[in-house]
Amino acid sequence: RQRQMCIRDRLLSAMSIIKSSLDKQRILFCGAGSAAIGIADILCREMLHSGVDEKIAKNNLYLFDSDGLITVDREDLSEANLKYAQEVDLETNFSAAVEKLKPTIIIGVSGVGSVFEEKMVRNMTKENNRPIIFALSNPTSKSECTAEQAYNWSEGKAIFASGSPFDTVRLKGKTYHPAQGNNAYVFPGVGLGVVASGAT
């Protein structure tokens, strides 16, 4: 829950950068497990609170698992997946799904390293002036892409966040400081609790 709220806050910060709102975004998740569902639920609620119709909110959220896009014609879906099943043709390749859906935001919670490919990020950058790329799987070896890749492939235009920390990136005379997109709430609290209580 803490992680999901932190990701929501990172996305809201991204909205202030691009001067837009969540309901204007097309969000594609790489991963359709509990992490993806939890984040999707929070983003859906955020849109509902801003006055967006529930159907419109859910239509902005696409999930992709190891068998492909979560679509209404699939018969292998859990109840949690079903609420985000979309009326689109099944696509079993994530890169092809990005090309087809043209998302403004991709969120990686798959635990599969390097699934965000160069061509995919370059295509996103052609479609969006500031593509939002959250590669959230831990540890960094499982990250869907690195910060350096996201910035290089987008020519510095990507708004990037990761699940584990990445070093700063230098590109064409600019320095980019990758944001961490999870655990920002719970870790400081745990640290303060340990220090305050003298626990070991």
For the stretch 179-183, contacts whose Cβ atoms lie closer than 8 Å and that sit 24 or more positions apart, written own/partner, are 179/10, 181/6, 181/7, 181/10, 181/134, 181/136, 182/3, 182/6, 182/7, 182/136, 183/2, 183/3, 183/6
In the chain, what is the straight-line distance between the N-terminal and C-terminal CA atoms, in Å? 25
CB 69 within 8 A of CB 26: no
pTM of the model: 0.89
Q: Is it the case that residue 89 has pLDDT exceeding 60?
A: yes
How much is the average pLDDT of 29-53?
Answer: 94
Q: Is it the case that residue 184 has pLDDT exceeding 60?
A: no
Average pLDDT over the chain, rounded to whole? 92
Give the strands of the sheet with 132-135, arranged side by side.
68-69, 61-65, 27-30, 105-108, 132-135, 159-162, 179-180
Q: Is it the case that residue 186 has pLDDT exceeding 80?
A: no
Return the pLDDT at 85.
97
